[in-house]
Amino acid sequence: MNFIKELLLQNKFKVIFFLCASIATSLLGVGVLAFINNYLLKMSEQSFMLVLAFSLMLVVFFASSVLVELALSVFGQNFIFKMQRRVVKQILDTAVLKIDQIGKAKLLASLTADVRTVSFGLLRFPDFIQSNILIICTSIYLCYLSPRVFLLCFCVIAFIFAINHIFMKKTYQYFKRSRDNDDALQNDYQNIIDGRKELTLNAFRAKFYYENDFEVNARAKKHNNTMSNVMQSLSSNWTNVSLLALVGLEFYFSLFYKWASFEDATTIALAIFFLRTPLFSMISTFPTLLMAKVALDKIENLDLTPYQSDFELDVFRGSWKSIHFKDVAFSYNDKFSLKPTTLDINKGELIFLIGKNGSGKSTFSMLLSGLVQPQEGAIYLDDILITKENLSLYRSLITAIFSDFHLFSQTLKDEDFAHEDQVKYWLEILELENKTTIENNALQITKLSTGQKKRLAMLIALLEERDMLILDEWAADQDPVFRKFFYLKLLPLLKQKGKTIFAISHDDAYFDMADRIFLAQNGLIRELKGENIKEIAKNVVEHF
């Protein structure tokens, strides 16, 4: 809701204009009723001028109503666009670990279902506002015609809304439960798609997951959606019948108790029928607005980083000699922590990191890349302490290919694209010239084997031309021939070009290519030292 308030404040003059235009349009509608009451109902003989005047009033009322609704619709679409930009930018600015904690399923549900729901709510909101204004203006006219009949209508309509409030409260509860079911179903869909091979191999597991996870959540959503529809149906039909009853009551009290003349009673009846459309519009909008409120709450409860419009596009232009870890420690939870680590990584070095699963390798690489920050200790670039203020500058030195990498197709180099000669050069080095093509500065073919996708990721990373390259088991999916090429040719070539390479690797046959080897063991990172670090590292790997 803070986002809505901010946008309203930013566009307060537009909002005031729309309100004034809606009031003017509503007064035109009341003017049509007044014209019927004062002239058409009392017309004793045919008058062409009266019919022409009435026709002109209808044309003006139609045109003004359409223009106001179109203007409000454009304003609503602008709201939606800004909200989409805001949420995506917040996700981009939120820390990697926080995104992992929120979970892919919840984020996707918010980006699809919640944003769409809020969009529908914002598109219906102009109708809601205009209907309210029209109801208020028409009510004032009813009060002018007959205060007692107006009081009767007010009491009956207030009673209608009181009952509707009960229905809407129940509807909101069912919407909220249904939205919770969406999170669970999104997770089910993700598991079914990602685990389709395992589920295909094991029909028992597929049946169990289908019946005990997916079907349970789908059935719960079906129930909640059905009940919300029941509440909406009760609400709309209750309103329809009650308004028809109100017309009968109004005629009864007007004619038998002389609360109004026959002409005024007829006009009031017309006004009630005239009010049916805005009343139904307003009441039918309630569920959409309630769903939008639930969706907005879901988005805000993601607890993303506060919105900032700008990107920190820093680029480190100077030279540096080393990255220094001083007593750096980090903990995910009580089950794992990276113990205080002190070490240096010098520019131009080729360093291997070895260690068992869960020993802290990935955590260390996340700290080194600047994707997470130390909870204790500090990281220095030469004598510069890395803080939140200069973190983006530090990250501009580094490119990485993680084990769970995502392949982007654009051949970017900072704010520009890589030169065509560079693209051609690395395509040949990585033996990809016959596997893909580059058009409009983007890869055109990416559906390749895992090993070849990793080569494409390497291409994209090298075209960024950054000082440090972090590789997480990059060679694991390469065939033996290209793996040998990677260690014996590519890494020395990159080192020759001045790259600092930090590679998580257990290919002990190539340990002698490293300048230094680090060992991750029980959350502690230390350098292996000795006369023959290759043999020491091989012995360590053999005992994993």
Mean pLDDT of 148-152: 86
Mean pLDDT of 479-498: 93
| Of 394 and 415, the one with more pLDDT | 394
Question: What pLDDT shows up at residue 43?
Answer: 63
Classify residue 321 by its DSSP letter.
-
Query: In this model, does residue 496 exceed pLDDT 80?
Result: yes
Query: Full-prediction pTM beyond 0.75?
Result: no
Mean pLDDT of 328-336: 82
- Model confidence pLDDT, tens digit, residues 27-46: 787 777 777 767 766 666 66
Query: In this model, does residue 437 exceed pLDDT 80?
Result: yes
Tell me which residue of 520, 407, 401 sits closest to 471, measured CA to CA: 401
Topology alike, domains 2-301 and 322-542: no
- Model confidence pLDDT, tens digit, residues 46-75: 677 877 888 888 888 888 878 877 777 777
Question: What pLDDT shows up at residue 544?
Answer: 66
Per-domain residue ranges of the chain: 2-301, 322-542
DSSP states of 51-101: HHHHHHHHHHHHHHHHHHHHHHHHHHHHHHHHHHHHHHHHHHHS-HHHHHH
Q: How many Å apart are CA 92 and CA 4, to the nearest integer?
A: 21
Angle, helices 48-93 vs 115-145, to 10°: value is 150
Q: In this predicted structure, which of 19-33, 211-225, 238-252, 399-413 has the lowest mean pLDDT?
A: 19-33
What CATH homologous superfamily does 322-542 map to? P-loop containing nucleotide triphosphate hydrolases (3.40.50.300)
Work out the mean pLDDT of the chain and round it to a whole number. Answer: 85
Instruction: Assign domain 2-301 one CATH number from 1.20.1560.10, 3.30.310.50, 3.30.420.10, 1.10.540.10.
Output: 1.20.1560.10
> How far, in whole angstroms, is CA 273 from its chain's centroid?
42
